[in-house]
Structure 1
Amino acid sequence: MIGLGAVVLGTPDPVGLAAFYRELLGWTTVEGGDPRFLRLRAPEQERPGLSFQLEPDHVAPTWPPQAGTQQMQAHLDLLVDDLEHEGARAESLGATREEHQPADGVVVMRDPHGHPFCLFRPGH
């Protein structure tokens, strides 16, 4: 059997980025973590989680993609009931809204360290 344990984001500041996602998602920091590698989990379940690994030379990807630039390897899709409310809340926590938005019902944002993530409504 194989199961997804966590998605890991590289960052120059694991503690700071974990704090952003902890507030955004309402998740809990798993105790006993090394500040170079932290994991969050949903309050009601242990896995899958979201982890943050120290990468001092992290380079944020370009969005939208352009040849010859840092390409996005992965991004998070976060399901929301209210795009505008949750987008504004994410911005208040330090996220930025991308100028290029690919479709209705989806908002592309970046966390404080430049990782793209999408907020989307059910059915999109």
Structure 2
Amino acid sequence: MTVLKTSVLVLDCAEPEPLARFYAELLDATSGPAPGDGELFLVTGSAGVVVLGIRRDPAHVPAAWPPPEDAQQTHLRILVAADSLDEAEREAVALGARPVAAQEDGTRLDNRTTLRRYTDPAGHAFVLAAVREAPLVQP
């Protein structure tokens, strides 16, 4: 018998509640403390599916940007309909996201028509990535 499992990406930060609210507003979701765990907040999307966890880590140090050469850092990729990319960017910045400048050496140059880079209020990297089709299927 297989045990039912699920997974969720968890971001560490010093203050999880405001960061959970940031992502809940950005993703049109809700946020709240995880049952029985005062250090973890959950961002929950439609149909009650947890899409992201935010965990308290008082010693959290944000990742460096640009990353050191040859470094691979985790980032969150948020899919957005191509014709809504500018609006999604305005929403993210209004909520506290900070745009990240692309490097000019050609290796990490953003194509602003399809990809926009940011850090969230706690310093985690994320991108808004344009997709041709609607990124979500509505129930």
TM range (shorter): 0.7 to 0.9
Alignment of 1:1-124 (within 5 A): 4-30=6-32, 33=35, 34-47=37-50, 49-67=51-69, 73-81=73-81, 82-100=84-102, 102-104=109-111, 105-122=114-131
Matched residue type, 1:13: E
Structure 1 spans left out of the alignment, 5+ residues: none
CA–CA distance in 1 between the matches of 2:125 and 2:109? 13
User: For each residue in 1:26-75, what CA deviation from the matched residue of structure 2 results, as whole angstroms up to 9, or x when unmatched?
Assistant: 1122565444211111122424x2001111111111122125xxx66411
Q: Aligned-pair RMSD on alpha carbons?
A: 2.3
Give CA-to-partner distance per residue, 1:71-120, whole Å, 9 cap, x none. Answer: 66411000112221111110000001001163311100110000000001
Q: Distance in 2 between matches of 1:57 and 1:24?
A: 25
3-state SS of 1:16 partner: helix
* Unaligned stretches of 5+ residues in structure 2: 103-107, 133-139
Q: Give the TM-score, by structure 2 length.
A: 0.75
Identity of aligned residues (%): 29
Q: Give distance in 2, aligned partners of 1:86 and 1:6.
A: 23
8 Å Cα contact 2:24-2:30 kept in structure 1 = yes
Moved over 6 A (4+): none
Task: Tell me the matched-pair count.
Answer: 120
Range with bigger deviation, 108-117 or 94-103? 94-103
Taking a change above 3 Å as real, the CA distance of residues 122 and 43 of structure 1, as seen in their structure-2 partners, is same
CA distance in 2, matches of 1:5, 1:30: 18
